[in-house]
Amino acid sequence: MSRKHRLVLGITVGTGCNLRCRHCLVDKNLGSRRITKSEIELLVSEINRCKPRELIFTGGEPVLFTGEINSILSAIHEPYGIYTSIVTNGSFASTTAAAVKTLKSFKALHSVQMSYDKFHAEFVPEACVHNLREACRRLDLSFGLVCAIQAPLDLIFLNKLNLAGVSVTTQKILPIGRAKDNALNYSYPAFEAKVLRKKCPNLGRLVYNCGNGFTTCCGFLASKPGNSRYVHRTIAAHLKSRFYELISSYTFGGLLRLAGLSNDGLSPAHSAPCALCEYIVPGILSSQK
Amino acid sequence: MTNKDKVIAVFLVSVGLFSVCNAMQYVKTLSAAQKTELSFLAANSSQNIGDSEPLRVVKHG
Ligand code: SF4
Ligand code: SF4
């Protein structure tokens, strides 16, 4: 398989974290606190078989699971060169030297994505962003920011952060996990019909959620209690599932028709693909049991 | 809509935060100071910002 067609695999190594952000999307049903040894064995055999082009270690806070991440990286067969990233809260970057030390503790690393926004800023000083960026520059790693937002105005803190040249990925907050408990959500003034022409935006990517399994879903469905229709023990089982067939074959408009639902029930919140997906897909799967 | 409003609306659409109609509606709700901040952001970082919808695997929170 050509490199471009190989999948991107996200790995939730543990949901444990040293912070407690108000908007945290890590739901208690998403995964376990820490990946186990037997899961690492399964994961490694799947990685060696499927040869993903990219591994993204996430959490919780992946820096708390460096040992587990290194066990995975050490057991992967070379030489196909997997691009490796972490998504971190960067709280370890109290100084550039501390950040360099932590980043060097990973057996392989190409890219660091730091989650930083008004919510993380309640715990993590701005200096950590600059220290981590500088550490990445010294170690020749790519560096980017991930900003969770409720509205576009939440991005204006970037004006004073002065991060010219740093790539910023925005993440519209969905009502999952603590974001749901705290009534935090990205709000749309009106329903955006263009979502009906889209498919699940996570196609081409899979996530392994420790304690649960492999899934395309990193949104609502994977966080549902009793999520066995959406999450599977192996990649092959997931790709053969009715759930995967549905989300990979149909646009949301197609799914809506398949479910026999009309557009009348759609609200502004359904402009978010995951919200629309949650509205449609569980019903289709239940009716086809 | 002023030119500044249009610049902000185009920015919001181009980085994937809203569709055109919602971007225009959203801009109408902003104060002058907020518009200044957002147009500064648009002028300085639009090439570097992209939306990850929904969470992709960057779901750290
Ligand atoms: S909720 Fe649906 S659209 Fe969102 S990531 Fe999961 S499968 Fe994809
Ligand atoms: S959002 Fe990220 S840093 Fe904050 S509590 Fe959740 S996992 Fe931890």
Give the residue extent of every domain in chain A. Answer: 3-187
pTM value is: 0.93
Q: Enumerate the β-bridge partners of residue A83.
A: A54
The predicted complex's ipTM stands at 0.90
First-to-last alpha carbon distance for chain A, in angstroms, is 34
> Rounded to whole angstroms, how far apart are CA atoms A34 and A52?
22
Count chain A–chain B contacts defined by CB atoms under 8 A: 145
Q: Do B58 and A174 touch (CB under 8 A)?
A: no
pLDDT in tens, B5-57: 999 999 999 999 999 999 999 999 999 999 999 999 998 876 688 877 655 55
DSSP A111: E
Residues at CB less than 6 angstroms from ligand 2 = A 17, 19-21, 24, 26, 59-61, 89, 115; B 60-61
Q: Do A189 and B25 touch (CB under 8 A)?
A: yes
Domain boundaries in chain B? Answer: 3-45
> By the 8 A CB rule, do A78 and A32 touch?
no
Residues of chain A with pLDDT under 50: 79
DSSP A64: G
Which amino acid, A30? L
Q: Thinking of the domain A3-187, which architecture would CATH place it in?
A: Alpha-Beta Barrel (3.20)
